[in-house]
Amino acid sequence: MLVATSAFLLATLATAVATGDQDRIPKTPHHPQQNFQNEKTPDWPSLRFRFRLKRKSTNVYGHHEFDMLAKPVVSEDGVSVLYDVFATFKQGTTMYNYTLIDGVGYSSSSSGTTAPLTACLESESGSLPPINSIMAALNEATLVSSDSAIDHGVQCSTGRLYKVSVKDIEFAVCATGSSSFTMRSSDMDIEVVYLAASMEVIESPSERECPKTIVPSVMTSVGQALLTGKLDAVRDTRMLKAAFDFSWGDSTCSCKSTPRPCIFIHGLGIKQGLPQNQNSFEDYWGDYLPEHAPCCSSMKFAVLDTEHYAWTDAALQRKSVIEYLQ
């Protein structure tokens, strides 16, 4: 029997933010930041990231297309930058907001007339794409020859083509000038648009003390050029011809061993357990598991009370073995 936990299903770059009124730029909260500028910086525009996920398993709250807005906060010497980020989306009657301010991440949700519930994020973005990590990865962008790109099915006829890796995911970056650039991979596409209007300063959604999870990045000339659209300021470097090598096709998932019965055990936060394994638990796992678990000859889902009992609780462990794993 194969036992899976929720950790196995965390996507490397999960995302959110439903598309809506894309021209409406939200106000962002003011936050003091030593030696950094909050006023509009003409050389560093605000950015709109439009994500399109290609795999159903990486959808967040059912969304595969969404936007995130990013405002640069640049050091006085113009060398380092940290982006404040804002995103909002809706699922059913619940509104979700994500805010990153001065390296501190917050998530909040509200439904109907209920007061918003705000929580600190332990990573830069929680389940959303790590915008500042994407920015930092652009520092290592490598120019690729058009011949090599065409050989691998990559088109960038009107701009410069770069290769970049974000958390082990390879992207082809097509920079077309002063309006936008795109990032494409087999898992997702990202369009980054330079906004003519700067986002207003964002204020923290909560007075609670939350940990800082990201720090400013020192930008290279190519990283700054991509984020500002000023590609003419960067001289072409040596192009790679053979190093550009990844597949655009949807990868298939197959089992390389004998399929076995599987039971999936969720993480913390479930308030009420059920006495028997369930045939499905879509409220927690979603509906995409069957097509992404080829080594499972059958699938069952345990439902444990992990709100009132810790994983180290002897009673919970005994119950798991007796009722769920037999």
Model confidence at 242: pLDDT above 70: no
State the pLDDT at residue 252.
57
Percent of the chain with pLDDT over 90: 29
Round to whole Å and give the CA distance between 111 and 116.
8
Nearest Cα to 320, choosing from 283, 270, 286? Answer: 270
pLDDT digits (tens, 9 = 90+) for 83-129: 999 998 887 888 888 899 999 998 888 887 677 888 888 888 777 88
Structural domain spans, the chain: 47-233, 260-323
Round to whole Å and give the CA distance between 162 and 183.
9
Three-state DSSP class for 204? coil
pLDDT digits (tens, 9 = 90+) for 284-307: 887 767 777 889 999 999 998 888
Whether this prediction's pTM lies above 0.75 is answered by no
Which CA distances in Å does 69 have to 27, 77, 120, 129, 267? 11, 24, 19, 12, 30
Q: Are 128 and 102 in contact (CB under 8 A)?
A: no
Average pLDDT across the chain, whole number: 77
Round to whole Å and give the CA distance between 155 and 134.
21
State the pLDDT at residue 132.
94
Place of tokens 């709109």: 48
Q: How many CB atoms lie within 10 A of CB 107?
A: 21
The encoded tokens of residue 40 equal: 């509009």
- Could you say which DSSP state residue 282 is in? H
